[in-house]
């Protein structure tokens, strides 16, 4: 009998372990989000004095990154902990909420159902610690000024009006985040005037980082009323941090001065009757080259203009590392071109060479443009010019080739300031076939005759294809594809877009888009592609 019972127990254990619990197969997938049944306090409660908030749902729920996704306005500076308990979630705050204030808790998609992780929709709780609920509202849309595309998850804030407002150190009093359409809405706020500012807030600390975050603002205060108008903001990069020399990189062959941000131009003045070749590299570094003879150190005065047009002066000592060994290791001498290799050229064209070192010698008699096997025209036959650092060469050329345009650079025809040369290089470009390209013509409508414009053709990825500065405009030899027309109001006539500055209450130069995307076919002309500007 005992043996029989033992065998039965063993069988139960074995079969029990073998049995697996599996979810039932088939059936319709749950797509219904959890529904809020009750909250404590109730929505729109008055005179709330507690420190704990609870929300109850019709199914089991989980919490997803609530510390990042829960938006509490006005910003409470009141730490909390949370606890999920089956079909409810509770928040326990450290301190009581500020008296006579309306608070909004917007949970976003922080609470989801347990099974399919469907987020609760429009989950928001409003309560007041006073006897009334604030009814003010500010709403609108947010777009990137360069692409005209809506911006998702940017912080849009209402700041108290102040002459000393510093959004790098001060958080907004009320705020919201944009949805995927760039729409924001800040509700249940005090009815008064505010400064409306939007920032990328990539690290979600609600403070502005000018180095890599976009921002946008309205110059005039906005009034938060129950019937207030919609506000549209454009965001832009505006690095207003002070320009500094971030570091220096001394080497045997060169000495680099690296700035804290991109610069537009730099003027170099040698202070002790010395001179060194130099170039601007990657937009934020100034590289000096070690050529003999020169003193152990060279003092230079740098006058640097940043992207905002701010001019800063520096004095810098250039001192190269001491040489070790017989020969100095040099960076290879190389060249890129615009247009890039194998891109089609018309028979009359502008050609640009970009070198990674200043050039000390150019043999314009041996560098030739090859039209056919018998016709070789030297570079000296064409108009060309160097930039101030002799690292960019622009050539205006003309060819009679029928199929292929070739540039021949013999070895030794170009020497850098370090004495090295390019290897023998043959660059080839097919001759452009007019039938494979199209044209776009149009004008600026409602144009101010005193204003200058920058008219740009960009592709679907907003890569610049061509620029013109007069209306009517014509873009020719455009490959088949989809494009946008972008118009910048060039207020200061410097033929470049200028950004805005919050500290100076300066808005960026306005940019307008042709509303519809342009579809251009090969061997086709589009006429009257006009951009209408607001009056």
| 129-141: pLDDT as tens digits | 999 999 899 999 9
On the question of pLDDT at 9 being above 80, the answer is no
- CATH number for 201: 2.60.40.10
| 8 Å CB contact between 261 and 304 | no
| pLDDT at 14 (0 to 100) | 44
Is 29 within a domain?
no
From residue 136, give the alpha-carbon distance in Å to each of 90, 119, 161, 302, 493: 28, 28, 16, 52, 42
| Predicted pLDDT at 28 | 61
CA-nearest of 232, 235, 240, 239 to 215 is 235
Instruction: Name the pLDDT band for 407 (thresholds 50, 70, 90).
Output: very high
The answer to whether residues 147 and 233 belong to one domain is: yes
User: Is residue 108 very low, low, confident or very high in pLDDT (cuts 50, 70, 90)?
Assistant: confident
CB atoms within 10 A of CB 231: 16
**139 in Cβ contact with 186 (< 8 Å):** yes
pLDDT for the residue 15: 45
Question: Quick check: is 12 in a domain?
Answer: no
Between 225 and 124, the more confident residue is 124
In a 3-state reduction of DSSP, which class is residue 161? coil
How much is the average pLDDT of 442-457? 91
Domain boundary among 237, 255, 274: 237
Q: Is residue 513 part of a domain?
A: yes
Please tell me the distance from the alpha carbon of residue 41 to that of residue 55, in angstroms, as a whole number.
Answer: 9
Question: Does the pLDDT of residue 459 top 90, yes or no?
Answer: yes
Distance set, CA 292 to CA 277, 299, 409 (Å): 11, 16, 27
311-318, strands of its sheet edge to edge:
263-270, 298-306, 311-318
The two beta strands, 531-532 and 444-445, are: parallel
Residue 6 domain-assigned (yes or no): no
Torsion of CA 148, 153, 158, 163, to 10 degrees: -70
Residue 229: band (very low, low, confident or very high) from pLDDT cuts 50, 70, 90: confident
d(CA 62, CA 54) in angstroms, rounded, equals 14
Q: Are residues 451 and 419 in the same domain?
A: no
Q: Over 90: is that where the pLDDT of 154 sits?
A: yes
**Does residue 60 lie within any of the structural domains?**
yes
Same structural domain, 395 and 409: yes
- Domain holding 518, by residue range, is 435-532
Two structure tokens written together for 523: 């061997």
285 and 348 in a single domain? The answer is no
Residue 492 sits in a domain whose CATH number is 2.60.40.1120
Q: Which residues share a beta bridge with 287?
A: 256, 279
Statement to judge: residues 232 and 249 lie in one domain: no
152 and 70 share one domain: no
Quick one: pLDDT at residue 54? 96
- As a whole number, mean pLDDT of residues 293-308 equals 89
Say which residues have a Cβ less than 8 Å from residue 3's Cβ, sequence separation at least 6: none
More confident residue, 271 or 272: 271
Alpha carbon dihedral 485, 491, 497, 500, in 10-degree steps, equals -120
Which percentage of the chain shows pLDDT scores above 70? 93
Residues 424 and 487 in one domain: no
pLDDT tens across 345-398, in order? 999 999 999 999 999 999 999 999 998 777 899 999 999 999 999 999 999 999
Q: What is the DSSP string of 348-403?
A: EEEEEEEESS-EEEE-TTTSEEESSSS-EEEGGGSEEEE-TTS-EEEEEEE---SS
Same domain as 217, residue 253: no
* pLDDT (0 to 100) of residue 375: 83
CATH number at residue 287: 2.60.40.1220
- Same-domain check for residues 442 and 426: no
Asked whether residue 283 is assigned to any structural domain, the reply reads: yes
Distance CA 182, CA 7 (A): 69
Q: Are the C-beta atoms of 305 and 265 separated by less than 8 Å? A: yes
Asked whether 103 and 126 are in contact (CB, 8 A), the reply is yes
pLDDT digits (tens, 9 = 90+) for 75-94: 878 999 999 999 999 999 99
Which pLDDT score, from 0 to 100, does residue 330 have? 83
| pLDDT of 301 strictly over 90 | yes
* Final residue in a domain of this structure, among 432, 458, 476: 432
Rounded to whole angstroms, the Cα distance separating 492 from 489 reads: 9
pTM for this prediction: 0.81
149 token code pair: 């595309």
Token pair belonging to 328: 């100095």
Q: Is the domain of 171 the same as that of 110?
A: no
Let me know: does 431 contact 345? Beta carbons within 8 Å: yes
Residue 314 pLDDT exceeds 80: yes
Within a domain: residue 22? no
- At residue 7, the pLDDT reads 47
Helix, strand, or coil (residue 15): helix
Measured CA to CA, the distance from residue 84 to residue 110 in angstroms comes to: 12
The whole-chain average pLDDT of the chain stands at 90
181: pLDDT strictly greater than 70: yes
Q: Domain boundary residue among 432, 462, 492?
A: 432
Same structural domain, 218 and 292: no
Q: How many domains does the chain divide into?
A: 5
Per DSSP, 434 falls in state G
Q: How many Å from the N-terminal Cα to the C-terminal Cα in the chain?
A: 102
pLDDT confidence of 326, banded at 50, 70, 90? low
147 shares its domain with 99? no
Inside any domain, residue 325: no
């Amino acid at each position: 009998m005992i043996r029989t019972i033992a065998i039965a127990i063993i069988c139960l254990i074995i079969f029990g372990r073998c049995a697996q619990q599996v979810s039932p197969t088939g059936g319709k997938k749950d797509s219904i989000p959890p529904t809020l049944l009750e909250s404590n306090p109730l929505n729109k409660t008055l005179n709330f004095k507690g420190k704990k908030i609870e929300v109850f749902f019709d199914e089991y729920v989980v919490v997803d990154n609530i510390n990042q996704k829960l938006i509490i306005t006005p910003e409470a500076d009141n730490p909390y902990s949370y606890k999920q308990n089956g079909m409810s979630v509770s928040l326990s705050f450290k301190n009581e909420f500020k008296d006579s204030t309306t608070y909004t808790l917007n949970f976003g998609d922080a609470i989801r159902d347990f099974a399919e992780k469907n987020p609760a929709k429009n989950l928001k709780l409003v309560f007041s610690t006073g006897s009334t609920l604030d009814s003010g509202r500010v709403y609108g849309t947010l777009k990137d000024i360069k692409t005209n595309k809506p911006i998702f998850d940017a912080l849009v804030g209402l700041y108290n009006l102040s002459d000393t407002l510093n959004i790098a150190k001060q958080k907004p009093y009320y705020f919201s985040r944009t949805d995927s359409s760039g729409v924001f809405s800040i509700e249940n706020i005090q009815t008064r005037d505010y400064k409306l500012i939007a920032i990328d807030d990539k690290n979600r600390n609600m403070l502005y980082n000018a180095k890599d975050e976009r921002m946008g603002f309205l110059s005039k205060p906005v009034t938060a009323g129950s019937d207030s108008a919609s506000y549209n903001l454009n965001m832009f990069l505006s690095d207003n941090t002070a320009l500094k020399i971030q570091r220096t990189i001394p080497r045997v062959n060169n000495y680099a001065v690296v700035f804290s941000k991109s610069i537009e131009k730099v003027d170099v003045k040698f202070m002790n009757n010395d001179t060194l070749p130099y170039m601007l590299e990657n937009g934020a570094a100034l590289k000096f080259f070690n050529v003999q003879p020169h003193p152990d150190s060279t003092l230079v005065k740098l006058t640097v203009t940043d992207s905002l047009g701010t001019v800063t002066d520096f004095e810098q000592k250039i001192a190269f590392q001491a040489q070790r060994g017989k020969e100095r290791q040099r960076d290879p001498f190389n060249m890129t071109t615009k247009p890039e290799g194998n891109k089609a050229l018309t028979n009359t064209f502008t050609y640009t060479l970009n070198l990674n070192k200043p050039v000390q010698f150019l043999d314009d008699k041996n560098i030739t443009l090859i039209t056919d096997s018998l016709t070789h025209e030297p570079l000296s036959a064409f108009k060309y010019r160097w930039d101030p650092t002799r690292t960019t060469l622009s050539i205006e050329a003309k060819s009679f080739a029928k199929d292929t345009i070739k540039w021949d650079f013999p070895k030794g025809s170009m020497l850098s300031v370090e004495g090295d040369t390019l290897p023998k290089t043959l660059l080839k470009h097919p001759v452009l076939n007019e039938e494979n390209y199209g044209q776009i013509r149009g004008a600026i409508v409602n144009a101010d005759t005193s204003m200058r414009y920058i008219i740009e053709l960009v592709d679907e990825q907003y890569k610049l294809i061509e620029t013109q500065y007069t209306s009517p405009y014509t873009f020719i030899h455009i490959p088949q594809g989809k494009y946008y027309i972008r118009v910048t109001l060039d207020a200061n006539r410097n033929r470049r877009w200028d950004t805005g500055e919050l500290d100076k209450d300066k808005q960026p130069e306005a940019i307008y888009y042709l509303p519809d995307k342009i579809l251009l076919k090969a061997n086709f002309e589009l006429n009257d592609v006009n951009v209408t500007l607001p009056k």
